[in-house]
Amino acid sequence: MPKRRKYEKILQLIKEEPIVTVEKLQRKYPEISSATFGSIMNILCKHDLVKKIPLKKRRVAYQRTDGYAIEKAKEILMAHRLKPGNSIEKKSTFSQDSRHPQDLQPKQVLKPNPVLTMALYSFLNAIELFQRKEERHRQATIILMDLAVEYALKAKLYEADSVAFIESQVEHLDFFAALREVKKIEGISREDEVKLTKVHNTRNYAQHRAVIPDSPSTRQYIVWVYEFIKRFVSENFGIDVDSQIPPSLFRALRRMMYSKLVDA
C-alpha cells in the first residue's frame, strides 16, 4: 500500500473528526508540522470546506462544513500547488520568468490592514536602501527587514482580533511575543523560525552594538525575509507580494535571488 502524503492524512482526519486542532493532529501524526497544517487549513477555509473556530489565547480549531469532501479538497489543494509561487510542500519562491508580476496581472488592492501595509513598506524600503551600497545603508536595511517580519506577524494578530491586538499594545508586544502568538494560531516552520531569529539577532547587534553585517550576509537575510513574507502573506492574506513591488526593486530582488542560486 503506497504511503499517504501529509495532506492526505490531514484530509482524512478532517473527515473522521468534526473539529480538528493542531494538537489533535500532532497526537495522531507527530511528523506533520504545525506550519503544514496551518497552510492547508487556510486554503480549505478560503474554499469554504472548513471554518475557523476561535479558541482562548488566540488558538484556533477548524470545523468541516457541509460542503467538505476529500476528493474536492484534494482537487483544490493540487490546483493551488500548481499555481506559480504556491506549494503545499515548500519550494523555492524564485521564478525564472523575467516579467514583473504587474505585467502579468493588475496590482492587487490591499485589504484594510494597516499593519500589513507597514510590513510591505518596511520590506520595500529595505530593498531600496540596500541598493545604495554603503555600510550605513546596510544598517538601515537590516533594521527594516526585521521590522517587516515583525509587522507581518502582527498583521496576522490584527486580522484575527483587531481589538485584542490594539489592547495588547499597552504591554510590549515585541518580535518574540508576536512570534509566539502567531505560532498558536498559524504555525511557523522550525526552519523559518531559525532564519527569522537570526535576522532579528543580527538587527539587535546592528542597532545596539554597532555590529553591521557585510553585504553578502545582508543579501542573504533579504532573501530569507522575502521568502518568508511572500509565503506568509499569500497564505494568510491572499496577496501576491511580488505584485506590490515596483519594477525597479523587483529586478534588484531577482538579482539577489539569482546570486543566491548561483552561490548555492
User: Smallest Cα–Cα separation from 183: which of 23, 8, 9?
Assistant: 23
Q: And the C-alpha cell for 256?
A: 539577489
B/e letters for 49-60, b = 16+ CB within 10 Å, e = fewer, are: bbeeeeeeebeb
* Integer Cα distance of 197 and 150 in angstroms: 11
- Per DSSP, the residues of 5-29 read PHHHHHHHHHHH-SEE-HHHHHHH-
Asked if residue 196 lies in contact with residue 224, where contact means CB atoms within 8 angstroms, the answer is yes
- Longest Cα separation, the chain: 59
The pLDDT value given to residue 111: 57
- Give pLDDT tens digits along the chain (264 positions): 344 578 888 999 999 988 888 888 888 888 887 777 877 888 888 888 998 888 766 677 889 998 898 888 888 887 766 444 444 444 444 454 555 555 555 555 555 688 899 999 999 999 999 988 889 999 999 999 999 999 999 888 888 776 666 656 545 678 888 888 888 777 788 888 999 999 999 999 988 888 999 988 999 999 999 999 998 988 888 888 888 888 888 888 888 776 654 444
3-class state of residue 69 by DSSP: coil
The pLDDT value given to residue 25: 86
Cα atoms in the 13 Å half-sphere on the side-chain side of 84: 12
Residue 90 identity (one-letter amino acid): K
Asked if residue 53 lies in contact with residue 60, where contact means CB atoms within 8 angstroms, the answer is yes
* Integer Cα distance of 63 and 66 in angstroms: 10
Judged on CB neighbours under 10 Å (0-12, 13-18, 19+), 173 is middle
* Integer Cα distance of 30 and 35 in angstroms: 12
* Integer Cα distance of 261 and 263 in angstroms: 5
Cα atoms in the 13 Å half-sphere on the side-chain side of 141: 26
